[in-house]
Amino acid sequence: MPLLEVSDLQKIYTSRFGANQVQALSSVSFQVERGEYVAIMGESGSGKTTLLNILAALDQPTRGEVQLNGKNLRSIKEKELAAFRRDNLGFVFQDFNLLDTFSVQDNILLPLVLAGKAYNEMNARLQPIARKLAISDIQAKYPYEISGGQKQRTAIARALITKPQLILADEPTGALDSRATAELLRLFREINDEGQTILMVTHSITAASHAKRVLFIKDGAVYHQLYRASMSTAAMYQKISDTLTLIATGGARK
Amino acid sequence: MKTQRKMKGSFYVRLALNNLRKNAKAYLPYLLTCFGTIAMFYNMCFLMLTRDIGPLSNSVSLRQILMFGAVIIGIFSAIFLLYTNSFLVKRRQKEFGLFNILGMEKRHVARIMALETLFTSAVSLVIGILTGILLSKLMLLLLFKILSANITFGFEIPGGAIRNTLCLFGIIFGLTLIYNIAQVYRAKPVELLRGGLVGEKEPRTKWVLAVIGILCLGAGYYLALTTEAPLAALGIFFLAVLLVMIGTYCLFAAGSIAVLKLLRRNKQFYYQSRHFIPVSGMIYRMKQNAIGLANICILSSAVIVVLSTTVSLYVGMEDVLRTRYPRNVIVNATDVSDRQAAALDTLIAEQAQLHDMTPQDVIRHRYRIFLTNQDGTEFVGDRDQYYAGQSMAMLVFMTRADYLAMGYQSVTLGPGEALLYVSRGHIPGEVVRFGAAGGDAGGAGGAAGTHGDAGYTLSIRERLNSFETVGQLTAMLAGSYYFIVNNDQTLTEIHNALFGKGAAMAERSYYYGFDVAAAPEAQISLVSALNTKLKEYGASQGVSGLYAEGAESERASFYTLYGGLFFIGLFLGLLFIMGTVLIIYYKQVAEGYDDKERYEIMQKVGMSRAEVRKVIRSQVLAVFFLPLITAAIHVAFAFKLITRLLVVFNLTNVPLFAACTGLTVLLFAVLYIFVYALTAKTYYQIVSQVRG
């Protein structure tokens, strides 16, 4: 059984008085196996963010289904959604979404505190993750005192600390410089090598070239996919680049 | 060319109007406050100047009270409006930045700002003054009702009132204009665009400030609780208010953060979903809002104190009148012999009969008054009549025979023994000493009743709980004590101890009071007839200081004073409430915008809407009810001091004041909760707005 199964997703946004209908997703289907590292690419407006919001149960599809670990997201009650999200999904955002009222440590611990864990257990989980992400010595600092790369590593730590089934990353390198980007991608690969499933939405070819599989979305549907297999990162980069050119110039193949 | 310039001009006007419309949610409360304060100030000026007050017997002192009210309202209006304006402008920094980036120079933005300020000022002045004029008749009716005066009819718009209002608010709006333009010029475009998003540093714990706060508050409370002497109360009240205000500001600013950080240090407590977000959020909130919350707290305390005291003074006015005039008609004569006193009795009886009135509940005192300076249980006389206001004490002495003549139960008193009744003041001890100024105040040894250079010592055999006091003494801001001693011999010795053997002791004074069952006008005419006769008699005997007075003759002036204070109390209460509401509203809006992003993030990392709402509620509740609770505590501590203060105003009815205070606190709390609920709604709307 795949970890994530997306079948025939459609999402139509209706403007307030029903005058305009916008189809963000027409029909999206794909599967993600446990331990996979999948990048979803597409141009602005291709429906990437909508897809991610539906996967995160922040939004409801107009048609179609999402199953995580065999559980249909639709079947989860509104009340339990927050807890479900907290326990099963980890989020990494482009703009980090750290709370400026919390120190680095408290930002990371937030999901565990919400889940009602004891402090000793929290701390036991925190230390190895902080060490791995090289943020042990900035734990007491506040988000405005640290660099963008450190912020994103903090956000990753926050996503990992609940031991989620799936990490959803939305343009995680979008606000980072090239060095911090390289560092982040190395970390993602390392985490993935340890068995963590990652689904990343991105614009960046560099970011996508580190993934094991890349899905291309165009006009609200999966247009193409690439498997890394034994390709090097450089070769993968070239492949993705070619595919994007093809999509942009309106190639007809599927 | 000309039309182009004209078009450009109207462009700015349109832009300014458009800005105001866009910011209506923020500007509306500000405008309402402008209308309110202008209308209130106009009305105070109107009442101060109106012709209708002319016929009142005490129009001059009433006008003075009203002027005092106008000055205070003016000061607070200025504070409120400047505060609110600064809040509004700070919120719009981003907008200015955008204008800058779109290619407007600062002088253009300043021009828009100036136009906006002009519009709001003009609208406020016009609507405010119109509202004021519409309400002025109503205010006059209310004032006359409170003063129990007859109402005259007529409609009047005093030019002076409009002029004063235009002047004061012209200056206030001028200041806001300067402030706003300075804000535009001081800001840098990039910073403007980022607005409030610049990384907010965690506030440092200012231990020194927290300690100062605790000390000030403690000292203020201590003063309030330990002050016994009503005379000292007035000075101490202001000192205590000042200390408590400083303490409140320090504690809200530093103490709150210190406490929250201590809570955060306790890991087991802090890392619970119930405490985690509120505690860390409050640390930031207190940094930005401590001063605002302290303001709310102090304003709330002011509302409660002002309203409860003026209401109880007004409600207790009859009490006060009776304390000041224990009988309807009172005749007082200083330095008269027993024969002259008997003649006065006949004179009074004749006059009463002439007016068809029978004196009832007669009280007669034969007494001596010595003016002294008090220091605890020491009383010092001064032949040069130099008495310090704070320590001045009036000692009323009666002999046992005079006391029994008043119809009290028989007592046995030895030499050096006395009964004591404390009308106002405090004697800390059961042995009092009398001495002369410049004499050796120390070495008071010796048994009770001894005298000589060391003074005279009197031991108090019993303290009386009630006594027919000499009314006019209650009007003086001095301690007054009544001593009953065994005989004239003792009295002479006390006199000599106070003023030396050389000083001649005057004859006793005579105090004759009685009630009559007659209409107020009849009573007034009796009092004036008595005064004429007393003058004649005094002249024939070569004694001065004979006069009659009556409660009815003075009632109007009491109503002017207490009613005037009550009226101003109502006005100030209303103004302070307006200020409190305003600050609460703007705090809610400001916090709403600050917290919006935070709650979005929390929802993304796995908090449900219900949880978010719960956290918001607990945090907002804590922040907004902190000032109310602190205000209630302040008032509770001030209670005793205020009762002492009210004694100076002759109000000794503590249960009445307690009831008034309780009721005021209750009503204020209800109003506060109502306002809070209304503004909290705005807060939720802002926080739950979906972005994009």
| Ordered DSSP codes for B182-215 | HHHHH--HHHHHHGGGS-PPPPPP-HHHHHHHHH
Quick one: tokens of B563?
Answer: 């009613």
The answer to whether residues B632 and B611 belong to one domain is: yes
Residue B445 has a pLDDT of: 41
Q: Which helix (H) or strand (E) holds A243?
A: helix A233-248
Average pLDDT for B430-436: 84
Report strand pairing: B360-375 vs B378-381: antiparallel
Are B36 and B167 in the same domain?
Answer: yes
Within 8 A by CB and 6+ apart from A97, the residues are: A91, A155, B601, B604, B605
Residue B202 has pLDDT above 80, yes or no: no
Among B265, B285, B605, most A C-beta atoms within 10 A, so best to mutate, is B605
Give B389-399 pLDDT, tens digit per residue: 667 788 888 88
- B574 or B96, higher pLDDT: B574
Q: Among A102, A122, A144, select the one facing B199 at the smallest CB separation.
A: A144
A144, B610: Cβ pair inside 8 Å? no
Residues of B in contact with A145 (CB under 8 A): 199
Residues of B with CB under 8 A from a CB of A: 199-202, 267-268, 271-273, 276, 280-281, 283-284, 598, 601-611
Q: Report pLDDT for B129.
A: 93
Smallest Cβ–Cβ distance between A109 and the set B201, B271, B611 belongs to B271
Whether residue B233 is found in the same domain as residue B166: no
Determine the angle formed by the axes of helices B207-226 and B230-250, rounding to 10 degrees: 160
Kindly state whether A149 is in contact with chain B, defined as any CB-CB distance less than 8 angstroms.
Answer: no
Q: Which two structure tokens, joined as six digits, stand for B61?
A: 């002192």
Query: In 3D, which of B550, B544, B508, B510 has the Cα closest to residue B352?
Result: B550
Contact A113 B608 (CB under 8 A): no
Confidence band (pLDDT; 50, 70, 90) for B195? Answer: very low
Q: How far is residue B473's CA from residue B334's CA, in Å, rounded to a whole number?
A: 13
Based on the domain organization, do B221 and B305 belong to the same domain? yes
Is the CB of residue B436 less than 8 Å from the CB of residue B497?
Answer: yes
- For the record, the structure tokens of B306 come out as 């002002």
Q: How many angstroms separate the CA atoms of B545 and B479, rounded? A: 22
| CB-based burial, B181-218: b 16+ in 10 Å, e otherwise | bebbeebebeebbebeeeeeebbebbeebbebbbebbe
The span from the CA of A7 to the CA of A10, in Å, is 9
φ/ψ (deg, to 5) at A162: -85, 5
Within chain B, what is the greatest distance between any pair of CA atoms? 107
The dihedral over CA atoms of B92, B98, B102, B106, expressed in degrees to the nearest 10, equals 50
Range B427-454 average pLDDT? 60
- pLDDT for the residue B510: 85
- CA–CA–CA angle B635, B636, B638 (5° rounding): 60
Task: Indicate the pLDDT class of residue B438, thresholds 50, 70 and 90.
Answer: low
Question: What is the model's pTM?
Answer: 0.74
Query: What pLDDT, on the 0 to 100 scale, is given for residue B452?
Result: 47
Distance from CA of A159 to the nearest CA of B (A): 8
Q: Are residues B641 and B240 in contact, defined by beta-carbon separation less than 8 angstroms?
A: yes
Same domain, B47 and B179: yes
Do residue B29 and residue B141 come from a single domain?
yes
Instruction: Give me the pLDDT at residue B173, please.
Output: 94
Task: For residue B479, list its beta bridge partners.
Answer: B393
Q: Judge contact between A212 and A36, C-beta under 8 A.
A: yes
Burial class (CB in 10 A: 0-12, 13-18, 19+), A152: buried
Neighbours of B682 (CB within 10 A): 15
Average pLDDT score over residue span B237-242: 87
∠ CA B439-B441-B447, nearest 5°, is 115
Nearest to A63 by CA among A34, A96, A97, A26: A26
> In the structure encoding, which two tokens stand for residue B321, read together?
């009148």
Instruction: Return the percentage of chain B with pLDDT > 70, whole number.
Output: 89
Between B384 and A168, whose confidence is greater? Answer: A168
Structure tokens at A159: 């996503």
Residue B8 pLDDT class (50, 70, 90 cuts): low
Q: What is the four-CA torsion angle of B596, B598, B599, B604, rounded to 10 degrees? A: 130
Residues B141 and B234 in one domain: no
Same domain, B189 and B42: yes
Task: Determine the average pLDDT of the residues in B409-420.
Answer: 84
- Mean pLDDT value across residues B610-620: 78
The residue of chain B nearest to residue A113, with distances taken between CA atoms, is B273
User: What is the bridge-based pairing of β-strands B509-515 and A166-170?
Assistant: unpaired
Split at pLDDT 50, 70, 90, the class of B384 is low
User: What would the DSSP string read from start to end of A47-114?
Assistant: SHHHHHHHHTTSS--SEEEEEETTEEGGGS-HHHHHHHHHHHEEEE-TT----TTS-HHHHHHHHHHH
| Predicted local distance difference test score (pLDDT) of residue B126 | 95
Q: What is the nearest CA distance from A10 to chain B, expressed in angstroms?
A: 21
Per-residue pLDDT band at B168 (split at 50, 70, 90): very high
Q: Which residues lie closer than 8 Å to B530 by C-beta, 6 or more apart?
A: B329, B331, B347, B348, B351, B548
**pLDDT score recorded for residue B631:** 93
Give the mean model confidence (pLDDT) for residues B366-381: 82
Render each residue's pLDDT in chain A as its tens digit; 254 residues.
889 999 999 988 877 666 778 888 888 999 999 999 999 998 877 788 888 888 888 888 999 999 988 889 888 887 788 888 888 888 888 888 888 888 899 999 988 888 888 888 998 999 999 998 889 999 888 888 888 889 999 999 999 998 899 999 988 888 888 888 999 999 999 999 999 999 999 888 999 999 999 999 888 888 888 998 888 889 999 999 998 888 888 755 44
Outline where DSSP puts E strands in B390-468.
392-399, 417-424, 431-436, 456-463
Per-residue pLDDT at B454? 61
DSSP code at position B562: I
User: Sorting pLDDT into bands at 50, 70 and 90, what band is B231?
Assistant: low
Query: Can you tell me whether residue B410 is helix, strand or coil?
Result: coil
Cβ density class B310-325: b for 16+ within 10 Å, e for less: bbbbbbbbebbbebbb
Q: Nearest C-alpha of chain A: how many angstroms from B257?
A: 13
Judge: B272–A85 Cβ closer than 8 Å, yes or no: no
Cβ of A97 and B284 within 8 Å? Answer: no
Output the pLDDT for position B635.
93
Q: Write the pLDDT tens digit of every residue in B43-63.
A: 989 988 887 777 776 777 788
Tell me which residue in A102, A114, A119 faces B607 most closely, judged by beta carbons: A114
pLDDT digits (tens, 9 = 90+) for B529-582: 888 888 888 888 888 778 888 888 888 778 888 888 888 888 888 888 888 888
> What domain range is B272 assigned to?
199-325+564-692
Query: Torsions phi, psi of A38, nearest 5?
Result: -110, 135
Residue whose tokens read 């106008």: B70
- Whole-angstrom distance, CA of residue B61 vs CA of residue B423: 28
Per-residue pLDDT tens for B645-674? 887 777 878 899 999 999 999 999 998 888
Please write the tens of the pLDDT for every residue from B327-341. 888 888 888 888 888
How wide is the angle at C-alpha B499 spanned by C-alphas B493 and B502, nearest 5°?
85
Please give the C-alpha separations between residue A55 and each of A75, A199, B307, B318, B491, in angstroms, as whole numbers: 14, 10, 60, 77, 101
The distance between the two most distant Cα atoms of chain A, rounded to a whole number of Å, is 57
* C-alpha torsion angle, residues B286, B287, B292, B296 (rounded to 10): 30
Quick one: pLDDT at residue B441?
A: 42
Shortest Cα–Cα distance, A19 to chain B (Å): 19
The three-state secondary structure class of B515 is strand
Three-state DSSP class for residue A134? coil
Least confident range from B96-105, B167-176, B190-199, B632-641: namely: B190-199
Residues 6+ apart with CB under 8 A from B444: B433, B454, B455, B457
Evaluate if residue B475 carries a pLDDT over 60. no
pLDDT given for residue B152 in this prediction:
67
Question: What pLDDT is stored for residue B476 in this prediction?
Answer: 60
CA distance A140 to A108: 11
CA distance A112 to chain B (A): 9
| A-chain residue closest to B610, CA distance | A79
Instruction: Count CB atoms within 10 A of the CB of residue B137.
Output: 17
Q: Which residues contact B130 (CB under 8 A, 6 or more apart)?
A: none
- The whole-number pLDDT of residue A222 equals 87
Residue B472 clears pLDDT 70, i.e. is over it: no
The last residue of one of the domains, among B555, B587, B613, is B555
A235–B contact, CB cutoff 8 A: no
Min mean pLDDT across B33-42, B96-105, B442-451 is at: B442-451
Question: What are the distances in angstroms from CA A210 to CA A181, A214, B388, B456?
Answer: 11, 9, 91, 105
Strand-pair partners of A63: A10
A169 vs chain B: nearest CA distance in angstroms?
A: 12
Residues of A in Cβ contact (< 8 Å) with B612: none
pLDDT at B222: 92
How many structural domains is chain B composed of? 3
Q: What is the DSSP letter of A165?
A: S
Residue B466 sits in the same domain as residue B355:
yes
What is B24-87 written as a DSSP string?
Answer: HHHHHHHHHHHHHHHHHHHHHHHHHH-GGGTTSTTHHHHHHHHHHHHHHHHHHHHHHHHHHHHH
Q: How confident is the model at residue B196 (pLDDT cuts 50, 70, 90)?
A: very low
Pair (B569, B665) in one structural domain? yes
Q: Which two tokens stand for residue B183?
A: 């804000």
A141: helix, strand or coil: coil
Q: Is A158 on the interface with B (CB under 8 A)?
A: yes
pLDDT value of residue B482: 85
A65 in contact with B, Cβ within 8 Å? no
Task: Give the containing element (helix H, strand E) for B495.
Answer: helix B488-499
Nearest to B561 by CA among B52, B64, B49, B46: B64
**Which of the listed residues B198, B229, B253 is the one where a domain comes to its end?**
B198
Please provide the average confidence, as pLDDT, over all residues in chain B.
Answer: 81
Q: Is the pLDDT of residue B134 over 60?
A: yes
Please check whether residues B387 and B456 belong to one and the same domain: yes
Q: How confident is the model at residue B123 (pLDDT cuts 50, 70, 90)?
A: very high
Q: Could you give the angle at the alpha carbon of A233 between the alpha carbons of A230 and A238, nearest 5°?
A: 105
pLDDT for B365 equals: 79
Q: Is pLDDT above 90 for B634? A: yes
Of B527, B555, B583, which residue sits at a domain end? B555
Band of residue B444 on the pLDDT scale cut at 50, 70, 90 = very low
- Residues B192 and B208 placed together within one structural domain of the fold: no
pLDDT at A209: 92
- Strands A71-72 and A63-68 come out as antiparallel
